[in-house]
């Protein structure tokens, strides 16, 4: 492959700087105006002002890509998705608009359990082809790395079926996928009366097996009202830790349960949602290395005000990230640009904070910050190019896909046709 020289960037957001970013550092984008990037094979060979990069050996022979004043970012890192699921829950969406709540629908057997019933009945081939379609859409919106959780199988065979699909997807398409085992999503119907037995089964039998196979790197639990309590969540996540699966937690989404404090206690990579945290939680999270992953797509989709205290978390010094939470029940979007828009208007984050929270901080939460999340020499050439002249226009044009090109490991993956 010839080297590539990318020029004509009105703003090149390198995201170089401290990792992870907290407090004021969350606004550091490392912007180079009229910058250039030299890409060699799958890596970034050089980044800097155009005049300097153009003079480098290799730059003259390189294939040129002139961006005519567009904005360049590291590809988005979406650190929280439920990628594998069997179709939408559009009927529930309509029920909620008519007044039913997410928890009422779940109690009557809908919600997560309706996706579980359908996933168990679905063939792996069908689930995989749906996931391929979603992954193409992630790429088209500028995402180059994502995390994906199991949790719609909730029996051994179907959790493994999901993990195996993820393994195949890693080989069959270009995006990087970090896998999380989430047997602890909700209690399946077979164990409705024996939730402790189910938590014990996940902790003692499934987790050691999953860890041995190397099919997942992370373990997650939905620790909330209607799902698992703190004791059960700790049992599952501690078992994961012993086997080498790093904890992530769905924490304080529907009710305050103490899950955020559990994340701090277990030194989880990430505590996600956090809509119902209190001042003491904010202090504890801010002192820790737990990444606070906010998911504003959920409240938007449910039509409720977003109350995750992003400003308080940032001002207290917490590590904040943003993610889609792509799933059929609470956040059916693959579009990180829309998440940036929601972060700005609903969480009062600045566009710069939102971009840091969508790139280098989530890369840290996935322990991939050495490879991706910023545009620096030696890192993988994961690049998203936007058809705007000012980076603030990415969240500003809400609901519009301004992603003009996505490059993964030095190869153009969007648009898929040559332009
Ligand atoms: O992150 N809260 C738990 N899990 C998902 C929702 C999953 C679903 O409703 O299917 C979430 O919001
Ligand atoms: Fe989730």
Give per-residue pLDDT as tens, 125-157. 999 999 999 999 999 999 999 999 999 999 999
Ligand 2: centre distance to CA 250 (Å)? 6
pLDDT at position 419: 52
Q: Kindly report the backbone phi and psi dihedral angles of residue 405, in degrees, each rounded to the nearest multiple of 5, phi listed first.
A: -155, 140
For 252-379, list the strands marked E by DSSP: 270-273, 291-294, 319-322
Q: Is the CB of 106 under 6 A from ligand 1?
A: no
Q: Please, which residues bridge with residue 223 across strands? A: 228, 251
Pocket mutation for ligand 1, best pick of 80, 184, 329, 333 (most atoms within 8 Å of C-beta): 329
Average pLDDT over residues 327-351: 98
Q: What is the pLDDT of residues 57-85, one digit of tens each?
A: 999 999 999 999 999 999 999 999 999 99
Q: What is the mean pLDDT of the chain?
A: 97
CA atoms within a 13 Å half-sphere pointing along the CA-CB vector of 88? 9
pLDDT for residue 416 is more than 80 = no
Q: How confident is the model at residue 215 (pLDDT cuts 50, 70, 90)?
A: very high
Interacting residues of 188 by C-beta distance below 8 A, sequence separation 6+? 113, 116, 154, 155, 198
Could you tell me the CA-to-CA distances from 209 to 165, 183, 188, 194, 213 in Å, in that order?
17, 12, 19, 22, 6
Sheet holding 270-273, edge to edge: 76-78, 143-149, 176-184, 218-223, 246-251, 270-273, 291-294, 319-322
pLDDT at position 225: 97
| DSSP-assigned states of every residue in 57-111 | TTTTTSEEEEEEEEEEEEPEEE--B----SS--HHHHHHHHTT--HHHHHHTT-T
| Residue 279 CB neighbour total at 10 angstroms | 10
Average pLDDT over residues 26-37: 97
Q: Taking the alpha carbons of 343, 349, 352, 354 in that order, is the dihedral positive or negative?
A: negative
pLDDT at position 417: 61
Three-state SS for 276? coil
Ligand 1: centre distance to CA 282 (Å)? 23
Q: How confident is the model at residue 307 (pLDDT cuts 50, 70, 90)?
A: confident
> For atom 12 of ligand 1, which residue has the closest CA?
330
pLDDT for residue 16 is more than 60 = yes
Q: Is the CB of 15 under 6 A from ligand 1?
A: no
Q: Is the CB of 252 under 6 A from ligand 1?
A: no
CA atoms within a 13 Å half-sphere pointing along the CA-CB vector of 247? 30
Ligand 1: centre distance to CA 250 (Å)? 9
Q: Kindly report the backbone phi and psi dihedral angles of residue 147, in degrees, each rounded to the nearest multiple of 5, phi listed first.
A: -100, 145
Whether 207 contacts 244, CB under 8 Å: no
pLDDT at position 331: 98
Rounded Cα gap, residues 93 and 117, in angstroms: 18
Ligand 2: centre distance to CA 81 (Å)? 6
Interacting residues of 250 by C-beta distance below 8 A, sequence separation 6+? 220, 221, 222, 223, 224, 227, 259, 272, 273
pLDDT for residue 316 is more than 90 = yes
Q: Is the CB of 298 under 6 A from ligand 1?
A: yes
* Maximum C-alpha span of the chain: 70
- Sort strands 291-294 and 176-184 into parallel, antiparallel or unpaired: unpaired
Query: Based on the number of CB atoms within 10 Å of its own CB, is 18 exposed (0-12), middle (13-18) or buried (19 or more)?
Result: exposed
Q: How confident is the model at residue 315 (pLDDT cuts 50, 70, 90)?
A: very high
> For atom 9 of ligand 1, which residue has the closest CA?
329
pLDDT at position 306: 83
Q: Is the CB of 329 under 6 A from ligand 1?
A: yes
Q: pTM for the complete prediction?
A: 0.98
Pocket mutation for ligand 1, best pick of 82, 100, 322 (most atoms within 8 Å of C-beta): 82
Query: Could you list which residues have their CB under 5 Å from ion ligand 2?
Result: 325
Residue 44 is inside which H or E element, if any? strand 43-49
Query: Based on the number of CB atoms within 10 Å of its own CB, is 57 exposed (0-12), middle (13-18) or buried (19 or more)?
Result: exposed
Interacting residues of 387 by C-beta distance below 8 A, sequence separation 6+? 70, 402, 403, 404
Q: What is the pLDDT of residues 219-271, one digit of tens each?
A: 999 999 999 999 999 999 999 999 999 999 999 999 999 999 999 999 999 99
Ligand 1: centre distance to CA 261 (Å)? 20
Q: Please, which residues bridge with residue 380 across strands? A: 43
Q: Is the CB of 324 under 6 A from ligand 1?
A: no
pLDDT for residue 1 is more than 90 = no
pLDDT for residue 98 is more than 70 = yes
> For atom 11 of ligand 1, which residue has the closest CA?
330
Average pLDDT over residues 172-181: 98
pLDDT at position 8: 96
pLDDT at position 418: 55
- CA terminus-to-terminus distance, the chain: 18
């Amino acid at each position: 492959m010839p080297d590539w020289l990318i020029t004509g960037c009105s703003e090149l957001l390198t995201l170089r700087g401290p990792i992870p970013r907290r407090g004021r550092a969350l606004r550091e984008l490392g912007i180079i105006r009229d910058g250039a990037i030299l890409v060699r094979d799958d890596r970034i060979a050089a980044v800097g002002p155009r005049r300097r990069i153009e003079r480098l050996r290799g730059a003259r022979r390189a294939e040129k890509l002139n961006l005519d004043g567009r904005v360049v970012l590291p590809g988005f890192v979406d650190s929280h998705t439920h990628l594998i699921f069997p179709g939408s829950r559009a009927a529930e969406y309509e029920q909620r608009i008519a007044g039913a709540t997410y928890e009422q629908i779940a109690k009557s057997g809908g919600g997560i359990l309706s996706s579980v019933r359908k996933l168990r009945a679905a063939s792996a081939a069908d689930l995989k082809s749906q996931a391929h379609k979603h992954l193409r859409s992630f790429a088209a919106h500028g995402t180059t790395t994502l995390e994906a959780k199991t949790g719609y199988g909730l029996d051994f065979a179907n959790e493994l079926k999901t993990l195996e699909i993820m393994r195949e997807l890693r080989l069959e398409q270009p995006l990087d996928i970090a896998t999380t085992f989430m047997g602890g999503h909700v209690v399946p119907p077979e164990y409705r009366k024996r939730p402790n037995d189910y938590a014990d089964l996940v902790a003692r039998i499934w987790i050691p097996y999953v860890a041995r196979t190397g099919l997942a790197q992370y373990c997650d639990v939905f620790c909330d009202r209607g799902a698992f309590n703190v004791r059960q969540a700790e049992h599952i996540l501690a078992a994961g830790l012993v086997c080498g699966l790093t904890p992530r937690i769905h924490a304080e989404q529907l009710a305050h349960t103490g899950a955020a404090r559990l994340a701090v206690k277990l030194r989880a990579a990430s505590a996600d949602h956090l809509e119902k945290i209190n001042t003491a939680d904010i202090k504890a999270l801010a002192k820790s290395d737990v990444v606070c992953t906010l998911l504003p797509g959920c409240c938007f989709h449910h039509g409720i005000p977003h109350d995750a205290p992003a400003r308080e978390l940032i001002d207290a010094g917490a590590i904040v990230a943003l993610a889609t939470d792509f799933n059929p029940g609470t956040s059916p979007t693959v579009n990180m640009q829309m998440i940036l828009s929601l972060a700005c208007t609903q969480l009062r984050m600045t566009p710069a904070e939102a971009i840091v929270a969508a790139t280098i901080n989530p890369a840290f939460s996935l322990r991939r910050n050495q490879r991706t999340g910023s545009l620096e020499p030696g890192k993988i050439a994961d690049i998203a190019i936007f058809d705007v002249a000012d980076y603030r226009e990415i969240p500003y044009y809400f609901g519009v896909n301004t992603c003009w090109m996505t490059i993964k490991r030095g190869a153009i993956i969007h648009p898929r046709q040559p332009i």
